[in-house]
Structures are given as structure tokens and as C-alpha cells.
Chain A
Amino acid sequence: GAGVSQTPSNKVTEKGKYVELRCDPISGHTALYWYRQSLGQGPEFLIYFQGTGAADDSGLPNDRFFAVRPEGSVSTLKIQRTERGDSAVYLCASSWGAGGASGTDTQYFGPGTRLTVL
């Protein structure tokens, strides 16, 4: 079946502009995660949704970053007044959200959106 998809694949914007990044999770997955990967580093957690609600937004760097998932499926990460330091690959992942007997909840990642702020 279809995996996690993210649009756009690349986004170039100017400092101070507003951007929206979209994530379409795997159908039926209730959990959705956003991560940010800067050059030479591993992905860093930003925010986690369980259904429509943000269960954990402790990774958002500041109040310029905001994410929504109004119908419990597609999610949008919104960045206001972009700065050059926001340049990174933004990864979305989804999972069943159950954990359960396995003890973990395998996350399936999309290909990411490469954001470049000039």
C-alpha cells in the first residue's frame, strides 16, 4: 500500500516568509510525528499527534512553529517568519499508535521536505 507522503519535496523561501509543509500518513495510522533533520545530524523530534490532538509538542523550538491535524489524518507543519536556521529536512512519520505487547510502535517515515530559507 501507499507509504507516508510529504509535499512539497523541496521548498525554497525567503527569510521572514511563512511556509506550510504537508504530511499524508499511512491510512489507518493514528499516531503522527514530525522530526527535523539538520545537515550532519540525526532527526530531532518536534511534535507528536495521537488522533487530532497534539499529545507532545515539547520538541517545537519556539512559537513560530505550529502543527495541526484537524481530521486525524493529514497534518500540516506551519512555520512563521522563517529564519535561515530553519533550513533542514522536515520528516513526517506515522504509526499505529498502539504500542501494545511489542513494547514499541514502529514509525514509518516519509521522504521529507527539504526547506531552504534564503
Chain B
Amino acid sequence: DQQVKQNSPSLSVQEGRISILNCDYTNSMFDYFLWYKKYPAEGPTFLISISSIKDKNEDGRFTVFLNKSAKHLSLHIVPSQPGDSAVYFCAAHLYNDYKLSFGAGTTVTVRA
């Protein structure tokens, strides 16, 4: 039973433009949401997170938006750079229970 879903397996974007990655979840008890980035042959690397009590968190070029009523979050990357080409995973966990439920990932390709 997949509780975190990323319905777009891939995204191609021009360098300098905005990348928008989407994620939906089914468990309303999730307390924290995270985005991880993964390069080939490496483990996932933490990118940015957001608490369920917030609707936006920003860190440099990366902004995560949370819409609790819609059970939806998104990651915006502005501007996109070639080094952003990777697989991005959305993940979530319950309050005080840090094991992560992951989506299937979205492969981002930034074109020069």
C-alpha cells in the first residue's frame, strides 16, 4: 500500500527555467515531509524538508510547498541547473516515528 506517490516518472526542463516536482500522499497522519535527491550509484541525499504545520519552506533555489487539505506537496527548483539532473524522491514520516515512506521518484533532466 503506497502511501506516498509521485505520478510523474520523469521531467525534462531547460537550464535556467523552473522545475516543479509533485507528490501526493494518502496518510493524513504524516507529520514531516522530505525531499531527497539521488545520483546514479550513490545513496539518496537529503535536500529539504517541511513540517506539517507549515505550508512553505525555502532553501536557496529550492522551495517546498505543502497543501494539507489536498494531501499534496511540490518541490520548486529555480533556476534549474545541469547539476540538478538526478532522481528526486518525496518522503514522509509520522510524528516521532522517523522511518520514511518514499515515493517512486521523478527523474529530472536539465537540458543545456
Are A44 and B51 neighbours in the complex by a CB distance under 8 Å?
no
What per-residue 1/0 map shows which CB atoms of B19-38 lie under 8 Å from chain A? 00000000000011010100
Interface size for chain B: under 10, 10 to 19, 20 to 34, or 35 or more residues?
20 to 34
Chain B interface, DSSP helix/strand/loop, else mixed: strand
In the complex, residue of chain A having the shortest beta-carbon distance to the beta carbon of B52: A103
A85 at the interface (CB under 8 A from B): no
Are B99 and A59 neighbours in the complex by a CB distance under 8 Å?
yes
Chain A residues, CB < 8 A from B101: 45
Interface centre among A31, A48, A107, A109 (most CB of B within 10 A): A107
Are B96 and A99 neighbours in the complex by a CB distance under 8 Å?
yes
Candidates A33, A40, A103, A112; contact of B99 at CB < 8 Å? A33
In the complex, residue of chain B having the shortest beta-carbon distance to the beta carbon of A106: B46
A42 at the interface (CB under 8 A from B): yes
With both chains docked as a complex, state the minimum distance between the C-beta of B54 and any C-beta of chain A, in angstroms. 10
B70 at the interface (CB under 8 A from A): no
A-B contacts at CB below 8 angstroms, number: 64
- B57-90, CB < 8 A from A: 89
Are A40 and B98 neighbours in the complex by a CB distance under 8 Å?
no
* Docked CA distance A43–B96 (Å): 20
With both chains docked as a complex, state the minimum distance between the C-beta of A38 and any C-beta of chain B, in angstroms. 10
Candidates A31, A103, A104, A109; contact of B43 at CB < 8 Å? A109
In the complex, residue of chain A having the shortest beta-carbon distance to the beta carbon of B53: A103
* Docked CA distance A91–B4 (Å): 19
What per-residue 1/0 map shows which CB atoms of A79-91 lie under 8 Å from chain B? 0000000000001
Interface centre among B42, B44, B91, B101 (most CB of A within 10 A): B44
The 8 A-B pairs with the shortest beta carbon distances in the complex, nearest first, are A109-B43, A42-B102, A104-B32, A105-B98, A45-B99, A109-B44, A43-B102, A42-B104
